[in-house]
Structure formats: structure tokens, C-alpha cells
Copies of this chain bind each other. A is one copy, B any other.
Amino acid sequence: MTTILMKGKPVADAIKVELTERIRTELRGIAPTLVVVVPTGESESDYYLRSLSKTAAECGINLLQKVLPAEAATKDYQFVVSSSGMESSIHGILVLRPLPEQVDTDAVTAIIPAEKDVDGVTAGNMAALYLEKPRLVPATAAAVMALLDYHSVPLKGVRAAVVGRSRTVGKPVALMLLSRHATVTICHSRTVDLAEVLQSCEVVVVAAGVLGFIKPGMIKPGAVVIDAGFNVLPDGNVMGDSDPAVAEVASLYAAVPGGVGPLTVVCLLKNLVVAAAQQAKWQGSQLA
């Protein structure tokens, strides 16, 4: 079987063209501005941030980094988030995870204004997705769906498995697949017969956070497999949650690196442009 690799880059490029156009027309050239709150010394964050900075620059988007020291407390993060929340020239706020141990991530997330929540992590935006009225959705989940759609993968009535139940990937992907009428099974670390579950599924999305967790033998031949895992190796390289040999079994395969990753940052910036356009509209109506 010839496997088609689902590359993130062409999809990302198409979205970048769309964003540049929307900034020109909907925002009339006002550069959307994103504040990224960065904890010091997290290698996952570093990798993501480099990619985000580069892509933002390409699209004419301002990116302001607020780097907090390793010992910063919950209230320090909250201060940065709330002051950015009140500033009308800032359109989006992203708090890079994981935060240091001493920080209460939920308490920091809770004060991101929903309209600036470009990674869809606030309760309001999660609830909107759950209630089938999605607004700003988690960028990784959006990237998974964008890949599936770019390759015209049928979803209606199809058996799909999501491996992992995180707030930012597993659960939102499950809800988005469900809203597209897939029959969705949510698997996780306690799933006993993972191979048996996956063997019954035509679409498999993996975000388990475990390096090489998914082996080729678990996959139904011809299935579509999207690896949304992200593991930074000691040598600085990145690998996903699936064994690259999955390519030998799948019909379409989004590997790591090269699949979901390059698309995630673009989906996040798309959320930013949507948020900025919405805020510009509100401000326009207040002035009118």
C-alpha cells in the first residue's frame, strides 16, 4: 500500500494566504497583536515559540513575549494576563504550557477574557464547543480537523478513535469529530484492549503524550492516522506518539514532525485574526 503523508506545510501555506488577505480587508491593515506568556526554561515551549514567531512575522502579526522568571507565582502570571486582557491594542493571549509546578494553571487560565482566548482553553470557549456553537477552539484540535478536511477524509458515520483525553487535544477533537457525525471512541492510558479498539476504526487521532505509543500492528490497514503527539527528545529532536512504521499500514498518515505541528501555530494565528476582527467590529459599533 502506498501511504500518503499528510504534510502540514501546504495546508498551513493556504491558511497563511487567507490570513494575510483577511488582515488586509477585515482589519484594514491593523496588525493583530498576540501576547505570549512564556515560562522560563521549558523546552517544549521554546520549540513552539520559535515556530510561532517565525509564522507570525510571515503573516504581519505582532508577537509580544512576556517571559516570566522560573520562580514566578500564580499572581505574577495573573497580573500579566489581566493587564493584557484590559489593553485594547492586544487581541489575543496565549499562556504557554506547562507552567512551573508552583503555578495554578486553572487560576491563570480563568482570567483570560474569552474573546482573547486564542487557544480555546477558557471554560467559556470549551463550553461553546461542547454546546456545538464553537467559537475559538484549541489550535491543535483545529489543526487535526484542517488536515482531515484538506485530504477530504470522510467522517460521517465513520468509526473514529481518539487516543488521549486532554482538554486541549483529545476531548476537543472527539467533540469536533462527533459534530461531523463520526462514531467516536475515546481511548486513554486505562484502555485495556487498545489494539482491538483501533483495529475497528477508519480514523485514528493520537494525542496520548507517550513516545511511540501506537505501533503499526494496532492500526487497521488503510486507516487514516493523525499523530498529534509532541515529545522533545534529549537531542532536541521531536517525535510523536506513533511509531513511524505506522506509515506502512495507514493509507494517510500525519507524522511528527511535519504533520500537525506546522499547522497548529497557523491555526492559533487564525484564531487571533478571527478574534481581532471581532474586537475591531465591536469597537467600530461602539464608535458608530
**Interface, chain A (partner B; CB < 8 A):** 106, 123-124, 126-128, 130-131, 156-159, 165, 167, 171, 174, 178, 181, 183-188, 190-193, 196-197, 200
The smallest beta-carbon distance between A141 and chain B, in angstroms, is: 13
> Contacts A124-B123, A131-B123; is A192 near B188 (CB within 8 Å)?
no
Q: Is the CB of A131 within 8 A of B167?
A: yes
Q: Is the CB of A178 within 8 A of B165?
A: yes
Q: Is the CB of B190 within 8 A of A157?
A: yes
Q: Is the CB of B178 within 8 A of A183?
A: no
> Contacts A186-B178, A186-B183; is A157 near B191 (CB within 8 Å)?
yes
Interchain CA distance A188-B157 in the complex, whole Å: 9
The 3 tightest CB contacts between A and B, nearest first, are A127-B127, A123-B127, A181-B190
Which residues of B have CB within 8 Å of A123?
123-124, 127-128, 131
For A172, the closest partner residue in chain B by CB is B130
> Contacts A123-B128, A178-B165; is A185 near B188 (CB within 8 Å)?
no
List 6 contacting pairs A-B, 8 Å CB cutoff, sorted by A: A123-B127, A130-B130, A183-B185, A184-B185, A185-B185, A200-B200
> Contacts A178-B165, A186-B178; is A159 near B126 (CB within 8 Å)?
no
Which residues of B have CB within 8 Å of A190?
156-157, 181, 183
> Contacts A127-B124, A130-B127; is A188 near B193 (CB within 8 Å)?
no
Total copies of the chain: 2
Interchain CA distance A171-B174 in the complex, whole Å: 11
Q: Is the CB of A159 within 8 A of B127?
A: no
Known: A126-B130, A183-B191, A186-B186. 12 other contacts (CB 8 A): A123-B123, A123-B128, A127-B130, A157-B190, A157-B191, A158-B192, A174-B186, A178-B186, A178-B188, A183-B193, A185-B185, A196-B200
Interchain CA distance A165-B190 in the complex, whole Å: 23
Interchain CA distance A178-B188 in the complex, whole Å: 9
The smallest beta-carbon distance between A153 and chain B, in angstroms, is: 16
Most chain B CB atoms below 10 A, which of A158, A181, A184, A185: A185
The smallest beta-carbon distance between A139 and chain B, in angstroms, is: 18
Interchain CA distance A261-B215 in the complex, whole Å: 44
Interchain CA distance A131-B138 in the complex, whole Å: 14
Partner of A181, one of B158, B159, B188: B188
For A125, the closest partner residue in chain B by CB is B127
Interchain CA distance A190-B180 in the complex, whole Å: 10
Interchain CA distance A157-B187 in the complex, whole Å: 9
The smallest beta-carbon distance between A168 and chain B, in angstroms, is: 11
